Chains A and B, each alone.
Chain A
């Protein structure tokens, strides 16, 4: 018995599992697990460009959006292109409406006097900090000297006329031309100002306009196609709920195992294997910085679920092998039908000759693993199209990439690392009994 346990621990599969577990736990405790936006709270906004663009234009779009969010003071931002016509912006811990206003607009600025365009967004050199007084806000900015010259010429003698300032063709400000600016002397200091319904609204509007002017305009028309946002509070509830559900499911599985096999000791390795698979999947996620979100949790459930299936298959094969071994010593064929007996006599006789019980287990486990590998292969085959769709477009079903990837990783970990150890354990258990 003791020798058996020592042999079990010395088995290379057991050692591999222990090493992987240690590495996973170390990685999880050192670098942690990155939670997806739906668990830690945050927003993901998908922006659609009016037409497909080349990589240079896409880079500009991504840079401008990054700059806007940076200027606005949003931390923890990820802007990534998805295909050649859309961009996904992900921000943690920010209300979606703040970001939507920033990234959902091209930010094209122009100013006109009468019908004449006198200023463009590209003329802006620097933008100063906005000021708010009461409900009135203003954003001062500096323009190039060339733009100042042409502005001065256009404005010359038009004192009192309105300067209409547009952001994306919406009039934001329409100040009257100051006599000091209408005298033909160029000035590089300009400001855009307006009033809002409340001081807070003025603040928001000023900050938005400052950010957009400062970061420049996007080279294409954009619109918001999709928003997905979860508050930190709800995300936290999701994460806790999933944990409770997982533990409860393990209890139910244990009850089923207990009911079927009436061997309490079998419950321990099944729970241990399931938890090991969880730790290893999270370990992989932690090492490769894979986000664990709700869909990844679904993938973990799928992987561990097939794991329990596999363990039941292994247990039944080994127990059956044991039973057959025990009844094969006395007159072994009493319970079998004569027809089958005639047909399979040869193979059965061969099997009886397998004198060492352990070899019988190995055979059994090998046939169990035929079923296990085959089902793993079909599950992975079913998940591959989703993984492909997700990687190629990143949108739509792209959410399921996390699911497909986690399932595939989990199943591979299961069939190559944890489930062989389970088989070894059941062999030990039945062998010593």
Chain B
């Protein structure tokens, strides 16, 4: 028996693999928590172009004194550009005054407490409704409870594993990563719908043959998607490290799409086969 055949005939215990990873992810989220970006917790971010070399502690002191706030953190200095994080909303004029003579402002972002709490509740609503609408659409497409639930469970497991990965790697939850999670819902359901349509609705070949064919297509899709996200991530990290929006989206999608391979081909396919064999 080839590995593929062995894998296809032992599908039931394999369902446990993504389930266990999802549970580990849940445990990680519960114990570690997920850091929040300033979009959601409030605070300020700045990138400045330095006019002269300065050590990060000097820069930190200069700014802290200038804006009268001790919670200043210089997160990186590279290529004469420094990234600074400040807890709490910061007056932009005071900030600019504090760096006068040291550097000029390249970008500045500040989020007050009202805005961040608004955004935080919107994040939950947006994700919950996105998931709900996606589930309804899946039900309408398949009009069949078990296969639809299998698709939805796979998507749920993708999101939870992506969140677990964010917790593990310290990727902050913010507006950008929410965008990535929504993209993930879209992408992950793609392969699930492909699988379900091919295996459930087609009649030619055995279930195994149909599953193998679907898997070939699915793996190509995953390779293209993960490949382009890795490229996006690398390009952003190398050329435009300050375009955090894009690198965050890419890293969340890399984790989520990798999780999706397991969720689709171990869990969704497993449940589907179980259901079809049961039905016979």
Contact = CB atoms under 8 A, between A and B. Distances in A.
A120 interface: no
B141 A231 contact: no
Contacts of B178: 397, 400
Contacts of A95: 96, 105
A256 B224 contact: yes
Contacts, number: 267
Contact of A245 (B105, B123, B205, B236): B236
B27 interface: no
B220 interface: yes
Given A100-B91, A248-B235, A385 B129 contact: yes
Interface in A253-282: 253, 255-257, 260
Given A382-B185, A385-B125, A400 B130 contact: no
B16 interface: no
Contacts of B114: 48, 225
Contacts of B176: 295, 298
In terms of DSSP, what is the predominant structure of the interface of chain A?
A: helix
A228 interface: yes
A226 B179 CA distance: 20
B246 A298 contact: yes
Interface in A240-255: 240-242, 244-245, 248-253, 255
Interface string A362-403: 000001001100110111011111100100010111011001
A123 interface: no
A222 interface: no
Contacts of B50: none
Contact of A309 (B197, B204, B224, B240): B224
9 contacts: A100-B92, A228-B108, A237-B243, A241-B240, A244-B239, A252-B227, A367-B202, A397-B178, A400-B178
Given A97-B95, A226-B115, A294-B246, 10 more contacts: A225-B112, A227-B108, A238-B240, A253-B227, A301-B228, A347-B204, A378-B186, A382-B130, A397-B123, A400-B175
Interface of B: 39, 44, 47, 49, 89, 91-93, 95-97, 104-112, 114-115, 118-119, 122-123, 125-126, 129-131, 133-134, 136-138, 140-141, 175-176, 178-179, 182-183, 185-187, 189-191, 193-194, 197, 202-206, 209, 213, 216-217, 220-221, 223-225, 227-232, 234-236, 239-240, 242-243, 245-246, 249
